[in-house]
Structure 1
Amino acid sequence: MAIDWLQYRCKGFYDELFAAPGEPRAAAKHLVDYLGSLNKTELADRRLAAELAIKVMGITFTVYSEGRNVDRSWPFDIIPRTLPKTEWMRTEAGLQQRVRALNHFIQDIYGAQKIVKDKVFPGELLQESANFRPQCVGMKPKHGVWAHICGSDLVRDGDGTLYVLEDNLRVPSGVSYMVENRQVTKRVFPELFQTGTILPVDDYPAQLYDTLAAMSPRRDDAPCIVLLTPGIYNSAYFEHSWLAQQMGIELVEGPDLFVGDDDCVYMRTVYGKRRVDVIYRRIDDLFIDPEAFRPDSVLGVPGLMRAWLRGKVGLVNAPGAGVADDKVVYAFVPKMIRYYLSEEPILPNVPSYLCMMEDDRRYVLDHLEDLVVKPANESGGYGMLIGPRSTKKEREKFHQLISANPRNYMAQPTLSLSTAPTLTLSDGSIEPRHLDLRPFILSRGESTYVTTGGLTRVAMVKGSLVVNSSQGGGAKDTWIVDLEAA
């Protein structure tokens, strides 16, 4: 039997595809009509085709389990998530605005710190910031850009409002899966792409290459660009190798590079040394240069910070950009937008409570069962307390953690994250699952590029709000639909 969408229940949450049972949203109508023509067996065949395509294409991610690195096939749901182009244009403008303000902030923090002097941003946050790098004070990167690549996580609440949940400015990952999700979907549902209403996403590698090239310190038509990876055991190694291949640049590890007496960076090749102009580094700050940061690091390049500070090489993202990749600093982004740009924020933040502030801390400690509590600098969904799903023991633990180090914690209300129809792993039925969205923003100074949509991550477990692949989450293709082209 064909799918009966009247039986699909959104259960009180905002659904990305349906306004009500049997009533698809405009951007999803063509997709819903098509899926409604398929029966359960045909859907199962499409899912199998997707799984085979993922294996053949070698799309994997690495998880750390019991001291071992385990490569797994990318978890993918074949039912796409849809958004209308009109809504996306506003979202795109909001993301561009946000990244401009963040780059102004980072430059200011490593310079005159006017935002602190004007009492818009509390200076004590910097004193205990895990990602503030004193080595970067006084530096002015090319075009004033520190965060060239940003991945901002968006969530939609029950009333349909799209919020920015957090900004990822250090080494944001996941864009390769965004592009590969589309390739898999095209193999599974090729007929759905014949209308021309689904906007493409495959220009990202070219856009990224142009962003990297714009950071070259030399006026050269063909700068030497490399991607610096920690190596094959890193959880994002698939993405590192994929991006290097797509852009046609060298994938290197620390020992492949060295800094010469002239403070330029060189790559060791079979033909001798070759000067490197731009390094897209996928290594955390503390490991990129044992002379400047951790002396025990074997992943980085001795003298790399010296070369960057003297303008001999471009580093993307710039060291120190992570000062704004802090869930406490996040709460001040709307103020940054007003302060630096004299504009009102287009996209709202999720309401937040900062535990470093006495009134907020008291409220958080009294309402742990209702809130999501996050440490300032963790990622991947680790170190969080999801109040409504927590135990008394877990709440007591977080009460102690917050009381001992309030600067390191912030809290937000538990949002009614939007859902989308998802094929269940157990019996192949279609049920709503919660999801988020990570668009990627590229900043070159004079222009800012935003991906068409982004990486939609979905909680594959019923009722779960955790979308991270390392904790059982999966992904969907994200369609920005141009209804005027229909």
Structure 2
Amino acid sequence: MAFDEMLTAENLPRPPYQNYHEWYAAQDTAHLIRKTQDAENIFRKTGITFAVYGHADSAEKLIPFDIIPRIIAAREWRRLAQGIEQRVLAINAFLDDIYHKQEIIRAGRIPRELIEKNVAFLPQMIGFKPPGGVYTHIVGTDIVRTGEDQFYVLEDNARTPSGVSYMLENRETMMQMFPELFALNKVQRVEDYPRLLRQSLASVAPPGCKGRPRVAVLTPGIYNSAYYEHSFLADQMGVELVEGSDLRVIDGRVKMRTTRGYEAIDVIYRRVDDDFLDPLTFRSESALGIPGIMDVYRAGNITIANAPGTGICDDKAIYSYMPEIVEFYTGRKALLENVPTWRCAEPASLKYVLEHIDELVVKEVHGSGGYGMLVGPTATKKECEEFSQKLAAKPHNYIAQPTLALSTVPIFVNKGVAPRHVDLRPYVLVSDKVKIIPGGLTRVALKQGSLVVNSSQGGGTKDTWVLED
């Protein structure tokens, strides 16, 4: 049975939810229905949308927002934050190592071919240390809960983690609609994120940067599914939003076209994938990047956040080695555990997964957004058989995990509340120090019994409250 984060087995509110539970009991259901409609109108007017590629209906969509917050106690958050910081520091150390001495490979803790044959490993980064020694400036760590003090890392997002704009808009919407709740509950702030992001990016500007570093957000353009977030963050930070066509390399610097001519950029927060970043280095047909930016980068004249080549840490086969990676670089056991994982590239694991496929969740090692996966317990016999054939043909392309009993939190429905499964994506900023935003984005599976929380698969979001002591 899933762990209910709000209510005990005796149907009593857990301590973090005590004040909210009392407030909710005094509310009129019709009033809350109107508030839900108000929230949808706010999101629609603000333009908070996303697109789902490959769908016949590819129009911009609203991510459903639930008005009941997810509430986390200060004690629980401190434990999570310690584990997240340890993991993020280990990821940065791992990236520095695989692009330099490769000590973890020589120590036999991770197979060489898993690194060197990985499509996300960039030989162009070998021997190069980014400004400040930081590879993953912005990290999103997906966490699931299964019990009172049982948290697991589901996956790492070390390349271009998305969703932070929804975290910020969710909070602003809740404060606008329910100011009385914030008077009843001492909730830690997330509103400082844009300011902290800009500070963090500016602090890792190239060594030769003079004066206040000039920061820009690089977007693929208006047709990208996350374009709203790109423009939102640029606006909130007070920096330029640019496309590749706005930039060019001049005199060894990346410069932006302005009404005053071309002016130098010091830090680029890029939301363009590695393959499209520089047509002279990667995909020659790319029209999204800046020809020659990698030469400027390797010369130390610009910071790219996150660094090219960090996507290898998003690989789910690499994820399966994270406990070893954390211990190798920190000298301590991981404070946050992985979900148990079978590597299908290993014959014994493949045999087990094929025999138990109807019980497991099987994922592509490079998959994301809930695509390319099989949830065995909810799949048909035919779907399991078809997936088994794909798995047997390319076992190295998959990992498998048990079906966890993800915790539930209440969502508001027309008849009151109903429990739904959730995960959590806290956001981490890395520069000369690590800053973890208290809370993050709670994604919720709106369908009863569903474990898939991704917005592209019908999931929604909630405001996440971390209480003060």
TM-score range, shorter chain: over 0.9
Distance of 1:439 and 1:340 partners within structure 2: 22
1:108-119 alignment to 2 at 5 Å?
A: 108-119=97-108
Instruction: Report if aligned partners of 1:128, 1:407 keep a CA contact under 8 Å in 2.
Output: no
Distance of 2:385 and 2:375 partners within structure 1: 13
Once the two structures are TM-superposed, the CA of residue 221 in structure 1 deviates from its matched residue by 3.3
User: 1:153-207 CA deviation, whole Å, 9 max, x = no partner?
Assistant: 0001156511000001111000010011001111221101114611111011011
Distance of 1:20 and 1:180 partners within structure 2: 33
Instruction: Report if aligned partners of 1:224, 1:278 keep a CA contact under 8 Å in 2.
Output: yes
Distance of 1:109 and 1:65 partners within structure 2: 35
Distance of 2:344 and 2:303 partners within structure 1: 37
Residues paired across the two proteins, number: 468
Deviating above 4 A after TM superposition, structure 1's stretches of 4 or more consecutive aligned residues are none
1:277-426 alignment to 2 at 5 Å?
A: 277-424=266-413
The TM-score with structure 2 as length reference comes to 0.97
User: 1:119-151 CA deviation, whole Å, 9 max, x = no partner?
Assistant: 011112123312011111111112221111110
Distance of 1:66 and 1:388 partners within structure 2: 25
Q: For 1:192, what is the secondary structure of its paired residue?
A: helix
1:96-175 alignment to 2 at 5 Å?
A: 96-158=85-147, 160-175=149-164
Distance of 1:41 and 1:93 partners within structure 2: 42
User: Of the candidates 435, 458, 477, which is equivalent to residue 463 of structure 2?
Assistant: 477
Whether 2:436 is the aligned partner of 1:450: answer yes
Distance of 2:130 and 2:116 partners within structure 1: 23
| 1:199 aligned partner, one-letter code | Q
| 1:230 aligned partner, one-letter code | P
Specify the alignment match of 2:220 in structure 1: 230
| 1:386 aligned partner, one-letter code | V
Distance of 2:367 and 2:376 partners within structure 1: 18
Distance of 1:14 and 1:68 partners within structure 2: 36
Distance of 2:10 and 2:21 partners within structure 1: 12
Distance of 1:28 and 1:448 partners within structure 2: 29
Instruction: Report if aligned partners of 1:14, 1:159 keep a CA contact under 8 Å in 2.
Output: yes
Whether 2:422 is the aligned partner of 1:432: answer no
User: 1:58-106 CA deviation, whole Å, 9 max, x = no partner?
Assistant: 2222223545641122310000001101110111111110010001111
Once the two structures are TM-superposed, the CA of residue 399 in structure 1 deviates from its matched residue by 1.6
1:36-51 alignment to 2 at 5 Å?
A: 36-51=25-40
Distance of 1:356 and 1:413 partners within structure 2: 17
User: Of the candidates 228, 231, 246, which is equivalent to residue 241 of structure 1?
Assistant: 231
Distance of 2:153 and 2:273 partners within structure 1: 24
Distance of 1:113 and 1:402 partners within structure 2: 30
Using the aligned pairs only, state the percent identity: 47
Instruction: Report if aligned partners of 1:98, 1:337 keep a CA contact under 8 Å in 2.
Output: yes
Once the two structures are TM-superposed, the CA of residue 236 in structure 1 deviates from its matched residue by 0.4
| 2:120 aligned partner, one-letter code | N
Instruction: Report if aligned partners of 2:253, 2:296 keep a CA contact under 8 Å in 1.
Output: yes
Q: For 1:336, what is the secondary structure of its paired residue?
A: helix
Specify the alignment match of 2:181 in structure 1: 192
Distance of 1:392 and 1:130 partners within structure 2: 32
Distance of 2:284 and 2:54 partners within structure 1: 28
Distance of 1:326 and 1:430 partners within structure 2: 37
In structure 1, the gaps of 5 or more residues are: 1-11
| 2:86 aligned partner, one-letter code | Q
User: 1:376-420 CA deviation, whole Å, 9 max, x = no partner?
Assistant: 111101000101011222222222222222221101000001111
The TM-score with structure 1 as length reference comes to 0.94
Distance of 2:389 and 2:320 partners within structure 1: 23
1:86-105 alignment to 2 at 5 Å?
A: 86-105=75-94
Structure 1 residues 213-222 or 304-313, which shifts more? 213-222
Distance of 1:321 and 1:334 partners within structure 2: 18
Instruction: Report if aligned partners of 1:263, 1:312 keep a CA contact under 8 Å in 2.
Output: yes
Instruction: Report if aligned partners of 2:63, 2:459 keep a CA contact under 8 Å in 1.
Output: no
Instruction: Report if aligned partners of 2:19, 2:185 keep a CA contact under 8 Å in 1.
Output: no
Distance 1:68 1:306, change over 3 A: farther
